[in-house]
Amino acid sequence: MGATLRAVRKIRTDLSLEKAARLLQWSLAKMSRFENGKCHITSDDVAAVTAVYRIPVAERNTLIQFATHGDQTVWWDPPLPGIPHEMSALSSYFDDANTITDWSATLIPGLLQIEGYAKALLLAAGRTPGEAHTA
């Protein structure tokens, strides 16, 4: 959430981190922790920040809802200013992956499989030359 609001500040406003902190009446350290995800962000914090950044109401409500129900969505769900849609899609694929599995072909299927290749695979798998010949 903090990274999203940092991107909004940098792209949609001319506010520096210091000026945004001053307008919010926050310390510079709190503002920095907020944008770097090092402290908890409440929906009230998001409402205050988006008001200072003069974000339109519909977008503001989306960001507040995201802060409230962050565990149900992911940071790339709201359109991020300056981030191509394709990048958000790639990020969502990473989140969707529960495990990474390496699927490597061990046999060449069909017409490309020749007897010598099959024997070499069987021998590599620990079969004896006699077993590899009869298999």
Q: What is residue 48's predicted lDDT score, i.e. its pLDDT?
A: 93
SS3 of the chain: CHHHHHHHHHHHCCCCHHHHHHHHCCCHHHHHHHHCCCCCCCHHHHHHHHHHCCCCHHHHHHHHHHHHCHHHCCCCCCCCCCCCHHHHHHHHHHHHCCCCCCCCCCCCCHHHCCHHHHHHHHHHCCCCHHHHHHC
pTM: 0.51
Q: pLDDT, tens digit, for every residue of 39-71?
A: 888 889 999 999 999 999 988 888 888 887 764
Domains identified in the chain and CATH numbers? 2-81 (1.10.260.40), 108-135 (no CATH)
